[in-house]
Chain A
């Protein structure tokens, strides 16, 4: 059995393509990939398309290698991976919606992102395919659930609170959930269409706005992909500043979500205290980098904001504050038995599922999949810094909260060392685009963000594909809620906190 990279080496190489290879493969190699995915030997990273080709990004855990297989689709069809490997289904439905390419043999050909309200069909497909489509009025077919006493509860996309839109179809027997089916795509903004043939600076701004809470991670992933394509080495100070911002963003989001999980169990005290510390993080970020969420601070070629002495001091003070106050909050969480009663054993996901889906971030790590892009594909400065990736195999809401608490501690320690070891020098280097392709995998707070770009020598981005970690986490939420009670769904959902914006793109 050949490894992924050997397999791709046999295909028609596309170059330059960095840091991982891409090759156009014959159909039998595509079929072999489907077998490898279904057997669990390889992990699906992403599946996307462009006119005439579909791309399949794969991760080979045994060799810690990533590679992209491409398949010509001159007939407008391609053999379905999802037919044998469930995690690929939503990707294939999206490819069908966005590009008009038909996954052959897939049992699920319902639309996914296309809700029948666009003025075009297959907006990313070949121009000749673009036709004005009538508004589809036939109702979406939810998967059937049969049995005595089973009833449906439709929730969303308009909710009682101000949250992102998503539709959840519960089939419940009394209070017990028999099946949950998600329907997403309500916040589709057409970012991949907007990125086609876009000047680099505008493309970077668009990438930063895929999911606002992960703006640093998206900017970094996009920048790294462009730099990889154009073989640009950024100054080491820029790399360290990026890591600093990434860790600040991670802490801010983890704090917000830990409080929000507790708030969903009506324990508002934890929420209030977490919100106070989160606000400190945002203010320190504002003082140091001039923007609370650090949006547009990372750009291809480096970073757009340097940190001065005052900003440095602010962040040092922030670290001291978190170290002083956070242990008390962890203790409050652990000592509130009424809260533990809600979170322990709720929303369980097992290792088999997270491995099959290749779920990253705290969702994967809380169920025993110790994947962290910072460790698996180490880059400066993470390669030179020692840190732990907290992992557990208990897989419930409580564990996901605990993993995030441990990650905050790790990130605080990382920030401390990043500030101390921050190299002097330039923070930006000139970018000269060339005709090439690049990829990047960056660990945001939710998990690994995957970005693929094709750059052009005229300074524009020809095509880009951005895959949010939520793509591989949303389906697990459906599994986590099974056999739990309906009233525990908000708790499970918040413990995942998948991105709607990043998924719907």
Chain B
């Protein structure tokens, strides 16, 4: 029990320690693909440190919400990321590691941030919030549909149950799971504001989504929001890792060797995902804001198809 609790704690610390590195790897890979040398993969840590040291400037008309939002966003995102089982399935908070709960936590974080974007009343904050909510209004139904399809296949929305199912030899080759994975990746790209939905590296105010929302933030507030963004990317990557590729994750505490191999495999999966993301982002241009619903609509249809196939035959 003690070990399980410790493992839960380690898992929580691991994700927050690892999150900047994942973003660093994405940035580095993109830079190399673009013929640039790129900053070190540890640059996001230095950026965070620099921002934490800096003074936080507030607009005169910023309300308490504007100041509280970064803490709330980080709290929601961190809990969501820490719940996802990456080191072992049956941890003390395992029953809470429910797909719907995690999506709900991430959704709450977004809600708070969108409000904060509106709070100061600048036009860019407003544009960013309105675009973010527009994307969420199509992204979240698609996400729920995906969860339902997975639940139909695995029999539960609990991550440990789904993972145990995909880990078992009974799973075989399933089209519905493949479709769900594809849909999930698309939603993950949209939710994380990556190209082609949003460009995290842009300096063009008018095209920003996430960056426009947080344009008024500085200093430690910005650091918290940046950290949440890193965490969110890691959360989606580890969701994919533990739901669709759960190999190597032990059911519970099973000794140091097991833990080390689980950790190694987790790192490999997540960093592999980061590199793939960089390849994808380099090969595509950003789409118009109004194309986003079509993109996510495709994810929704994939999810629907996965569920339908499952209803037609148990073997899909």
Contacts and interface: CB of A to CB of B under 8 A. Distances in A.
Interface of A: 151-155, 159-162, 175, 262, 264-269, 271-273, 276, 336, 338-339, 341-342, 485-490
A489 B195 CA distance: 18
Given A175-B290, A338-B284, A341-B287, A264 B215 contact: no
Contact of B288 (A159, A336, A341): A341
Nearest to A177: B206
Nearest to B286: A266
B285 A267 contact: yes
Interface in B121-148: 123-124, 127
Contact of A266 (B35, B36, B202): B202
Contacts of A162: 203
B47 interface: no
Contacts of A175: 289-290
Given A175-B290, A269-B34, A160 B284 contact: no
B291 interface: yes
Given A269-B34, A342-B286, 18 more contacts: A153-B127, A154-B123, A155-B206, A159-B203, A161-B203, A175-B289, A266-B285, A267-B284, A267-B285, A268-B201, A268-B282, A269-B283, A272-B34, A338-B286, A485-B288, A485-B290, A487-B289, A490-B207
A153 B204 CA distance: 14
Nearest to A494: B204
A485 B292 CA distance: 14
Given A175-B290, A338-B285, A272 B35 contact: yes
Contacts of A161: 203-204
Contacts of B206: 153, 155, 486-487, 489-490
Q: Closest 9 interchain pairs by CB?
A: A161-B203, A266-B286, A267-B285, A266-B199, A339-B285, A272-B34, A338-B285, A265-B285, A490-B204
B196 interface: yes
Given A152-B123, A269-B33, A336 B285 contact: yes
Contacts, number: 82
Contacts of B286: 265-267, 338, 342
Contacts of A154: 123
Contacts of B124: 153
A477 to B, nearest CB: 14
A271 B196 CA distance: 16
Contacts of A489: 206
A10 B215 CA distance: 61
Contact of A272 (B36, B195, B199): B36
A153 B131 CA distance: 15
A434 B142 CA distance: 77
A501 to B, nearest CB: 20
Interface in B157-208: 195-196, 199, 201-208
Interface of B, helix, strand, loop or mixed by DSSP: loop
Contacts of A486: 127, 206
Contacts of A151: 123
A487 B36 CA distance: 27
Nearest to B197: A266
Interface of B: 30, 33-36, 123-124, 127, 195-196, 199, 201-208, 211, 215, 282-291
A264 B130 CA distance: 21
A299 B53 CA distance: 52
Contacts of A160: 203-205, 208, 211, 215
Contacts of B208: 160
A342 B127 CA distance: 20
A489 B288 CA distance: 11
B35 A276 contact: yes
18 contacts: A151-B123, A153-B127, A155-B205, A162-B203, A262-B285, A265-B285, A266-B195, A266-B199, A267-B286, A268-B34, A273-B35, A276-B35, A339-B285, A342-B287, A485-B289, A487-B289, A488-B288, A489-B206
B37 to A, nearest CB: 12
Contacts of A268: 30, 34, 201, 282
Given A175-B289, A265-B286, A342-B285, A153 B123 contact: yes
Contacts of B283: 269
Nearest to A272: B34
B289 to A, nearest CB: 5
B216 to A, nearest CB: 12
A287 to B, nearest CB: 22
A407 B211 CA distance: 36
A264 B196 contact: no
A91 to B, nearest CB: 29
A269 B282 contact: yes
A328 B17 CA distance: 42
A374 B289 CA distance: 41
Interface centre among A272, A273, A339 (most CB of B within 10 A): A272
A142 to B, nearest CB: 14
A269 B195 CA distance: 13
Contact of A487 (B33, B35, B201, B288): B288
A271 B282 CA distance: 11
A160 B283 CA distance: 25
A339 B289 CA distance: 14
Nearest to B208: A160
A161 B204 CA distance: 7
Contacts of B35: 272-273, 276
Contacts of B282: 268-269
Nearest to A343: B285
B31 to A, nearest CB: 9
Contacts of B204: 160-161, 264, 490
